[in-house]
Amino acid sequence: MIEPKVLKGFRDSLPSQEIARQKLIGKVQSIFRSFGFVPIDTPALEYTEVLLGKGGGETDKQMFRFTDNGGRDVALRFDLTVPLARYVSANYASLSFPFKRYHISKVWRGEKPQKGRFREFIQCDFDIVGADNAQSDFEILLLIHTCLSQMNVGAFKVRVSHRGLLNRFLATMGLESTCPQVLRAIDKLSKIGSEGVKQCLRDEGLSEEAIDGIVKFISIEKDDFGRTLSTLEGMFGNCPEMERLKAIYAMMKSCEIDGDFILDTSITRGLDYYTGIVYETLLLDMPQIGSICSGGRYNNLAGLYTKENLPGVGSCIGLDRLIAALEELGSPLVMDSSYADVMVAKTEDDSGWSQKVAMDLRSRNVKTDCYVGEKSMGQQYAYAQKNGIAYVVTAKDGDRLTAKEIATRKMLENITIDELAALALGSKEER
Amino acid sequence: MIEPKVLKGFRDSLPSQEIARQKLIGKVQSIFRSFGFVPIDTPALEYTEVLLGKGGGETDKQMFRFTDNGGRDVALRFDLTVPLARYVSANYASLSFPFKRYHISKVWRGEKPQKGRFREFIQCDFDIVGADNAQSDFEILLLIHTCLSQMNVGAFKVRVSHRGLLNRFLATMGLESTCPQVLRAIDKLSKIGSEGVKQCLRDEGLSEEAIDGIVKFISIEKDDFGRTLSTLEGMFGNCPEMERLKAIYAMMKSCEIDGDFILDTSITRGLDYYTGIVYETLLLDMPQIGSICSGGRYNNLAGLYTKENLPGVGSCIGLDRLIAALEELGSPLVMDSSYADVMVAKTEDDSGWSQKVAMDLRSRNVKTDCYVGEKSMGQQYAYAQKNGIAYVVTAKDGDRLTAKEIATRKMLENITIDELAALALGSKEER
């Protein structure tokens, strides 16, 4: 006998987990589609050379990389951004730009497994490629706002900043060259606090004066987007970065969503490749969950594969974190262990009526599981209860049914199929 | 510069292709859910030993197999059936039986690429595990029937047979031992004709008398399920296989779908592991497409991993074939290149009104793409046309919009957002 085990860092998804995941994916898909974003797909396996284009270093070591039977050096993709760059380069002539795409799919990283970190996980990316303007920046922010609003995760703020402002600020102190190190230090703020950031900057050899300046900059008051914008305008005047932020803010106001955004100079996102606005989210009731939707603008996405200049802006939803947040809230989005509303029991007398009743219920939009095992009626009720099924049909006489309401253990006698359908669909709405 | 190429036998999915695929997947998912089937997920990568359990031979050579960084012998899954067997064994205590699951996901096979055959493709499996009775057999057949009916692929027949009948028939001639070879020969009938089948059987060393008997058996009249059933009853009497088929037929009649099924003794499905009913589909207007949904009953699915006896019955939708069939029919299911119904143009005067109009349209269920590029109005119309978007909003004055109807090139002046929404949703229904 072979032990039915999965690889370290990999996992099976049980029905209740997979139902939750699929519901969330269905929900974000329908939001993406309502914005006219289109789906794409790319191979899980690519030439290593293609995938390593941008990465190297840490990424290289984390890849599932091997030589295939044809002697090719291949690897499983470790994100959806590099494949996007390869994809828009390879299919440039077939696509419409600005190209708005979403991609929800698995990626693989051979990193050390730890709590909440897996070697196989789903990424949920959305990007606009081929535009560098306030409209496209804003649209990604609006999408993030729409996703969070429709998920009912409670009050939230989207924290926005612009990489260029920090660059300008460092330039005024003659510290441009330290920018990558400063970015990474600031990015750790929420984990290590401002004293920790100061120590990091000290370790990088910055002067106490510079450090004080930086900490003051990232501590600029951020209660209201418009007020922070004014403060920054006082510092930077009319530079392109301020123009961009002001245009984005005007659109937020026009769409009446400005209250859910803050301009937060402490947001940097660690990754080197961002060049414009950057953002992350904060759930006010669950700050410990961390950002569930982050990203930014990057210019020249596909420079390694094409001469076309392709600026982009995008974001990525952390599905596992979002599920954790919704579980903490007890959201009905992640609470089902079955899709079925009604189960039709298997009885001794069955010449096909149970399948017909199930069929008739389905035609009334009632999701119906026809029990096909060989267990006693008591065990069938237990099956229904375990799977969160509200009603079990146990008999049919003419056009009348007998059904058990699982929650109350009450038998409903002589009800019509329409009455049962109404009950089942009603009980669902209450949830 | 790195060439943005994909591996041989792999492919990118363009937006129009991916939209078609997602629509079909969405449709079959909602059917599976209406039957109370639940989704699962398993890792793409597994221990080679686990995957090879049932396979070996051809399968072995076709696997993407390698040693991971931890020295483990691993491989990408080549189907969803072996992972299902491993999954139910590993998660036995957490699942409800009979376990009805669907699984729509990618599999990888390193076979020689040829027209319509890829090294990475999506399988769409649905199975009931843990029941061996007519109800579960019938439920899979009903699911197949529901899928084909709701896809509007025109008239079809589901061709059903039972492996046990052929075994019994061969036994009457003392030919049980040749069963696997006979099965494989008959399975080629649609490709090589009955003369070809005869030659195959001759090559296996069967006598002309036996060959005539077999060809006669697989040619039994099959216009009407009930009539064929009677013919077979005359031959086999009341054996368990006939009892099973009769019970299934009674359920078909009870659900009034018996006219779409035929009992076809020439259906065997080549795979050795089927033990009960087997079936495939035939599209009457497009027989050349082949079966788009096939399968059968197998007993002892997970014998390699567990001592639990887990009989099963299931099927697999050939998504690529189904898409080919729907394309041939010009089905609207596979004809879109965008989700958007309306596009809001980008004009010089934009202080955010376009994003607000898009937002308001979306709140009326109109999928709306806000153009965020920098092209002229003429090029924006071309973008809309290329993406099958019916209306383009070009201006807003108070609560009145100006919009262009792309198909007629007509400008609609002074319309309200509600009027535009009604037009856009109406034009969609016509499609």
Question: Following DSSP, what letter does each residue of A22-80 receive, concatenated?
Answer: HHHHHHHHHHHHHTT-EE-B--SEEEHHHHHTT--THHHHHS-EEE-TTS-EEEE-S-S
Q: Mean pLDDT of all residues in chain B?
A: 92
Q: At what angle do helices A179-187 and A189-203 cross, to 10 degrees?
A: 150
Question: pLDDT by residue (tens digit) across A324-366?
Answer: 889 888 888 887 778 899 999 999 877 789 999 999 999 999 9
Residues of CATH 3.40.50.800 domain(s) within chain A? 342-430
SS3 state of residue A8: coil
The mean pLDDT value for B153-174 works out to 93
d(CA B66, CA B78): 14
Q: Does the N-terminal peptide bond of residue B98 adopt cis geometry, omega within 30 degrees of 0?
A: yes
* Beta-carbon contacts of residue A126 (< 8 Å; ≥ 6 apart): A32, A37, A100, A101, A102, A103, A140, A143, A314, A315, A316, A317
CB contact under 8 A, B12 and A43: yes
Rounded percentage of chain A residues whose pLDDT exceeds 90: 77
Burial B118-150 (b: 16+ CB within 10 A, else e): bbbbbbbbbbbbbbbbbbbbbbbbbbbbbbbee
Chain B residues with beta carbon closer than 8 angstroms to that of A67: 66
* Beta-carbon contacts of residue B301 (< 8 Å; ≥ 6 apart): B81, B84, B85, B88, B129, B310, B311, B312
Q: Is residue B53 within 8 angstroms of chain A, CB to CB? A: yes
Q: Give the alpha-carbon dihedral of A84, A86, A92, A94, to 10 degrees.
A: -70
More confident residue, B114 or A104: A104
SS3 state of residue B372: coil
* pLDDT for res B200: 92
* Beta-carbon contacts of residue A413 (< 8 Å; ≥ 6 apart): A402
- Above 70 in pLDDT, residue B56? no
The mean pLDDT value for B26-54 works out to 93
d(CA A193, CA B191): 71
**Strands of B248-377, DSSP E:** 261-263, 277-283, 293-298, 312-317, 342-344, 368-370
Residue A406 phi, psi dihedral angles, 5° rounding: -65, -40
- The radius of gyration of chain A's CA atoms, rounded to the nearest angstrom, is 27
Q: Mean pLDDT of all residues in chain A?
A: 92
d(CA B403, CA A295): 34
Taking Cα atoms as reference points, which of B256, B272, B319, B297 lies closest to residue B105?
Answer: B319
d(CA B317, CA B337): 24
Q: Within the 355-414 window of chain A, which residues sit less than 8 Å (CB to CB) from chain B?
A: 355-356, 358-359, 362, 365, 367-374, 383, 386-387, 389
What amino acid is encoded at A235 in this protein?
Answer: M
Pairing outcome for strands A99-108 and A120-129: antiparallel
- Above 60 in pLDDT, residue A427? yes
Asked: is B155-284 a CATH 3.90.190.10 domain? The reply is no
**Backbone CA torsion sign across B417, B418, B419, B425:** positive
Q: What is the 3-state secondary structure (H, E, C) of A287-348?
A: HHHCCCEEEEEECCCCCCCCCCCCCEEEEEECHHHHHHHHHHCCCHHHCCCCCCCEEECCCC
* pLDDT for res A58: 65
CB contact under 8 A, A352 and B142: no
Q: Is residue A74 within 8 angstroms of chain B, CB to CB? A: yes
* Assessment of whether the complete model's pTM goes beyond 0.80: yes
Q: What angle do CA B375, B378, B382 make, to 5 degrees?
A: 90
Question: pLDDT by residue (tens digit) across A35-78?
Answer: 999 999 999 999 999 998 755 566 677 899 999 999 999 999 99
Residue by residue, DSSP assigns B123-183 as EEEEEEES--SHHHHHHHHHHHHHHHHHHT--SEEEEEEEHHHHHHHHHHTT-GGGHHHHH
* pLDDT for res B431: 47
Residue B421 pLDDT level (bands cut at 50, 70, 90): very high
Asked: is B342-430 a CATH 3.40.640.10 domain? The reply is no
Ranking A317-321, B105-109, B180-184 by mean pLDDT, the lowest is B180-184
Chain B residues with beta carbon closer than 8 angstroms to that of A276: none
Chain B residues with beta carbon closer than 8 angstroms to that of A41: 12-13, 18, 21
Residues of CATH 3.30.930.10 domain(s) within chain A? 15-333
Q: Give one word for A409, left, alpha or beta, with left for phi > 0 and alpha for psi -120 to 50.
A: left
Class of domain A15-333: alpha beta
Q: Is residue B273 within 8 angstroms of chain A, CB to CB? A: no
CB contact under 8 A, B6 and A43: yes
- Above 70 in pLDDT, residue B54? no
SS3 state of residue B316: strand
DSSP code for A96: -
Residues of CATH 3.30.930.10 domain(s) within chain B? 1-154+286-337, 155-284
- Above 60 in pLDDT, residue A431? no
CB contact under 8 A, A44 and B11: no
| Separation of first and last alpha carbons in chain A | 44
* Beta-carbon contacts of residue B354 (< 8 Å; ≥ 6 apart): A135, B344, B345, B346, B347, B370, B371, B393, B396
Fold observed for domain B1-154+286-337: BirA Bifunctional Protein; domain 2 (3.30.930)
Closest-approach residue (CA) in chain A for B364:
A34
- Above 80 in pLDDT, residue A239? yes
**Strands of A248-301, DSSP E:** 261-263, 277-283, 293-298
The mean pLDDT value for B21-29 works out to 94
CB contact under 8 A, B386 and A350: no
Tokens matching residue B9 = 């036998």
Question: pLDDT by residue (tens digit) across A23-35?
Answer: 999 999 999 999 9
What amino acid is encoded at B216 in this protein?
Answer: K
* pLDDT for res A56: 55
* Beta-carbon contacts of residue A134 (< 8 Å; ≥ 6 apart): A244, A247, A248, A251
Q: Which residues does residue B393 pair with via DSSP β-bridges, in sequence order? A: B344, B403
Q: How many CA atoms lie within 13 A of B351 on its CB side?
A: 5
DSSP code for B258: G
Q: What angle do CA A10, A15, A18 make, to 5 degrees?
A: 60
Q: Is the predicted ipTM greater than 0.95, yes or no? A: no
**Backbone CA torsion sign across A53, A85, A18, B127:** negative
- Above 60 in pLDDT, residue A421? yes
Contact B78, B51 (CB under 8 A): yes
Indicate the residue of B1, B22, B64 with minimum beta-carbon distance to A304: B1
* pLDDT for res A54: 54
d(CA B258, CA B57): 40
